[in-house]
C-alpha cells in the first residue's frame, strides 16, 4: 500500500498563485497536495514519494525538464507515474506532443481548465497509482516467497548432505565388521547365510545413504545408475527380503512365481530392487489382513516382465493415471500409507524409465485389487557380477605396510583388522600428530587418512607429509565421508594421491592397494 508521501499530488505551475489555487481545490476534496517552486524541488519531492504530478506546460518550456524525465526513466518496472499536464497552447501543439512523448503516462488538460476535469483527472491518477503500489506489494510478496523457498531448498540440501555424512561414519565400521565375519566364516551354513544377509543389507543401507545425497537429483530425474547384467531372481530375492517385514506385519500372503530359465536385465541391481520393494510394500500396505499378493516374473518378447498383483483396496479408474504423480495419494488411502509421502510410485516410474522400461497399473476399481506391471529390456547373457566378497588367499597386499589414521576408533580398528586379514602389516593411530610420528617410525607405503579429525586434520597431515623429503614415495589415500567433486579437488590440492568415500568398498580398496607399488 502507498505511504502518505506516496499519495501526494505534487504541483508545479508557472506562478505560485496558480499552484496555490490548484492545491486549494484538491485539498478541499481531501487530496494531499504540495507545491514545488522549481523543477529541482519537484524532483526532490518525487524521490521522497509521489502519487500524481501536475505540471504546467510552461514548466516544460521554461525549465530544463530533463531531471523529471530521468526520474521517470529510473522507475521500477511496476511504476508508471501519472502526470497531468495543463497546456497553454492546446493539447495538439508540437511542444505538448513532445512533452507527452517524454513524460509517458500523461493526461492533458487544456486551459482554461474546468474544475471537474482537474478533479476527475487527479482522482483517476491517484487510483491508478494505488493500483501500481498494490502490484508492487504483490510482486514483492511473490519474490519473497520464492526466495524463502529457495532458502528452504538450500537448507534441505545442506541438511541432507550433513545427515548422509553423519550416517556414513557408523556405517564404515559396520561394513568392515561384516567383511571380517565373512573372512572368518564359520562352518555353520546358517552363520554364512546371516553374513550374506548382513552384507546385502549394509550395502543397501550404504546406497540409500548415497541416495540421500542425491535426493534432489532423483526428483529431477538425474541419478546415476551403476548398471551391470543382473538376474531378475536376484533382484526379486533382495526386494522380497526388504519388504518381508512389511508383508508379514500386514498379515498378507505372498506367492512368488519365477521362471525356470534365468532372465537377465542390464541395470542397477539396487535401484531395481528398490522398484520391486516399493511395489511390494504398497501391495502389502493397501491390502487388508488375510489378503493375497502375487509376485510373478516372466520373459515375454525380449522383455523381462514383473507383475505385482494384490487383492487390496484397488484404485478408481479416474485415479489410475495419476498415482505415479509426485505426492499423489488417493483419499481414504492416506491412513494406510504409513507415513509415506506419495513419492514411492514417482520414484518407481522414474527409475524404470531410466532403465529404458515402462510401468503401468490396472485395477477394476475400489475393493477390486490392483496390479502393477514393470517391463524392462531383457539381455541374453550373464557377466560375472561385481562386488564379490574379498578373499584372504592371495589378496595381493601381503606384507604391505599400511597406516590407518582415523579418530573414529571403531572405524580405524575394524579397517585395521580387515587389512591384517588380507595380509597387510597395519598400524593404527587416531590423530594427525600421531600420524606424522608414525609415518616417520613405521615407514608405511600407504596411509589411509581420515579428513575430519580434531586438532590436525587430514589436509594438514597431507600437506606436512608432502613438505618432507624423507616421506617421499608415501601414497596418501583420503578416506572421508565427503565425496563431492569439490571435496576431491581439495584432497588433491592438499597432496593426496587417491580419494575414497566412506564406508570404502573393501573390494575397491583392495584393488587400489594391489595396483600401488
Would you tell me which residues interact with ligand ADP (CB under 6 A)?
Answer: 282-283, 286, 310, 312-313, 315, 323, 328-330, 333, 337, 340-346, 370
In eight-state DSSP terms, residue 335 is G
First to last CA, the chain: 74
Q: Which segments within 419-473 are labelled E, that is strand?
A: 425-429, 446-450
The residue at minimum Cβ distance from ligand ADP is: 340
Shortest distance in whole angstroms from residue 147 CB to ligand ADP: 30
Shortest distance in whole angstroms from residue 243 CB to ligand ADP: 12
DSSP H helices, 220-290, are: 232-249, 269-285
The nearer residue to ligand ADP, 141 or 317, going by C-beta atoms, is 317
Query: Using alpha carbons only, what angle is made at residue 233 by residues 322 and 208, rounded to the nearest 5 degrees?
Result: 60
The nearer residue to ligand ADP, 346 or 395, going by C-beta atoms, is 346
Shortest distance in whole angstroms from residue 304 CB to ligand ADP: 21
The nearer residue to ligand ADP, 152 or 341, going by C-beta atoms, is 341
Shortest distance in whole angstroms from residue 316 CB to ligand ADP: 10
Shortest distance in whole angstroms from residue 372 CB to ligand ADP: 7
Shortest distance in whole angstroms from residue 173 CB to ligand ADP: 32
For 57, phi and psi rounded to 5 degrees?
-55, -35
Shortest distance in whole angstroms from residue 463 CB to ligand ADP: 48
The nearer residue to ligand ADP, 324 or 496, going by C-beta atoms, is 324
Q: What share of the chain is helix, strand, coil (3-state, %, to 5)?
A: 50, 20, 30
The nearer residue to ligand ADP, 290 or 387, going by C-beta atoms, is 290
In eight-state DSSP terms, residue 223 is -
The nearer residue to ligand ADP, 180 or 320, going by C-beta atoms, is 320
Sign of CA dihedral 454, 512, 421, 170: positive
Shortest distance in whole angstroms from residue 283 CB to ligand ADP: 5
The nearer residue to ligand ADP, 278 or 411, going by C-beta atoms, is 278
Residue closest to 282 by CA, chosen among 325, 252, 317: 252
Sign of CA dihedral 27, 32, 35, 39: negative
Q: Are 267 and 230 in contact (CB under 8 A)?
A: yes
Shortest distance in whole angstroms from residue 248 CB to ligand ADP: 17
Shortest distance in whole angstroms from residue 307 CB to ligand ADP: 12
Residue closest to 449 by CA, chosen among 476, 469, 482, 426: 476
Phi and psi based region of residue 327 (left: phi greater than 0; alpha: psi -120 to 50; beta: remaining): left
Strand partners, 256: 295
The nearer residue to ligand ADP, 103 or 345, going by C-beta atoms, is 345
Sign of CA dihedral 500, 504, 507, 509: positive
- Find all residues with CB under 8 Å of 89, minimum gap 6, and list them: 57, 95, 96
**457, 166, 427, 487 alpha-carbon torsion, rounded to 10°:** -50
The nearer residue to ligand ADP, 44 or 329, going by C-beta atoms, is 329
The nearer residue to ligand ADP, 10 or 345, going by C-beta atoms, is 345
Amino acid at each position: 500500500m502507498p505511504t502518505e508521501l506516496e499519495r501526494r499530488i505534487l504541483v508545479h505551475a508557472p506562478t505560485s498563485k496558480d499552484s496555490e489555487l490548484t492545491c486549494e481545490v484538491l485539498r478541499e476534496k481531501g487530496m494531499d497536495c504540495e507545491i514545488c517552486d522549481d523543477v529541482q524541488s519537484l524532483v526532490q519531492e518525487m524521490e521522497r514519494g509521489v502519487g500524481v504530478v501536475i505540471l504546467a506546460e510552461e514548466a516544460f518550456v521554461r525549465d530544463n525538464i530533463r531531471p523529471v524525465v530521468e526520474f521517470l526513466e529510473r522507475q521500477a518496472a511496476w511504476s508508471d507515474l501519472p502526470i497531468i499536464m495543463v497546456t497553454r497552447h492546446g493539447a495538439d501543439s508540437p511542444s505538448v506532443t513532445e512533452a507527452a512523448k517524454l513524460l509517458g503516462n500523461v493526461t492533458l488538460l487544456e486551459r482554461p481548465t474546468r474544475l471537474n476535469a482537474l478533479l476527475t483527472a487527479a482522482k483517476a491518477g491517484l487510483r491508478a497509482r494505488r493500483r501500481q503500489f498494490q502490484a508492487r506489494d504483490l510482486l514483492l510478496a511473490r519474490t519473497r516467497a520464492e526466495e524463502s523457498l529457495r532458502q528452504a531448498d538450500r537448507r534441505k540440501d545442506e541438511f541432507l548432505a550433513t545427515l548422509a555424512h553423519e550416517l556414513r561414519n557408523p556405517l564404515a565400521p559396520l561394513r568392515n565388521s561384516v567383511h571380517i565375519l565373512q573372512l572368518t566364516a564359520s562352518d555353520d551354513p546358517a552363520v554364512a547365510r546371516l553374513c550374506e544377509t548382513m552384507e546385502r543389507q549394509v550395502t543397501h543401507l550404504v546406497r540409500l545413504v548415497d541416495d540421500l545425497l542425491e535426493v534432489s537429483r532423483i526428483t529431477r530425474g538425474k541419478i546415476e545408475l551403476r548398471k551391470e547384467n543382473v538376474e531378475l531372481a536376484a533382484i526379486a530375492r533382495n526386494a522380497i527380503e526388504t519388504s518381508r517385514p512389511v508383508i508379514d506385519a500386514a498379515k498378507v500372503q505372498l506367492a512368488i512365481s519365477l521362471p525356470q530359465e534365468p532372465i537377465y536385465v542390464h541395470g542397477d541391481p539396487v535401484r531395481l530392487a528398490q522398484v520391486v520393494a516399493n511395489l511390494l510394500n504398497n501391495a502389502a500396505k493397501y491390502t487388508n489382513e488375510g489378503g493375497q499378493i502375487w509376485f510373478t516374473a516372466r520373459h515375454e518378447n525380449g522383455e523381462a516382465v514383473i507383475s505385482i498383483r494384490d487383492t487390496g483396496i484397488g484404485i478408481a479408474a479416474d485415479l489410475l493415471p495419476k498415482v505415479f504423480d509426485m505426492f499423489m495419494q488417493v483419499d481414504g488411502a492416506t491412513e494406510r500409507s504409513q507415513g509415506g509421502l506419495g513419492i514411492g510410485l514417482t520414484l518407481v516410474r522414474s527409475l524404470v524409465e531410466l532403465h529404458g522400461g515402462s510401468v503401468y497399473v490396472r485395477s477394476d476399481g475400489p475393493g477390486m485389487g490392483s496390479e502393477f506391471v514393470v517391463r524392462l529390456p531383457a539381455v541374453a547373457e550373464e557377466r560375472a557380477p561385481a562386488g564379490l566378497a574379498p578373499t584372504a588367499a592371495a589378496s595381493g597386499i601381503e606384507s604391505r605396510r599400511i597406516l590407518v589414521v582415523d579418530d573414529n576408533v571403531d572405524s580405524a580398528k575394524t579397517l585395521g583388522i580387515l587389512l591384517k586379514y588380507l595380509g597387510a602389516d597395519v598400524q593404527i593411530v587416531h590423530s594427525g600428530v600421531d600420524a606424522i610420528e608414525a609415518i616417520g617410525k613405521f615407514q608405511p607405503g600407504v596411509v589411509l587418512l581420515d579428513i575430519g579429525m580434531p586438532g590436525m586434520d587430514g589436509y594438514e597431515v597431507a600437506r606436512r607429509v608432502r613438505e618432507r623429503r624423507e616421506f617421499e614415495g608415501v601414497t596418501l589415500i583420503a578416506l572421508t565421508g565427503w565425496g563431492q567433486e569439490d571435496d576431491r579437488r581439495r584432497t588433491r590440492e592438499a597432496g593426496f594421491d587417491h580419494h575414497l568415500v566412506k564406508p570404502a568398498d573393501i573390494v575397491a580398496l583392495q584393488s587400489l592397494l594391489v595396483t600401488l607399488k
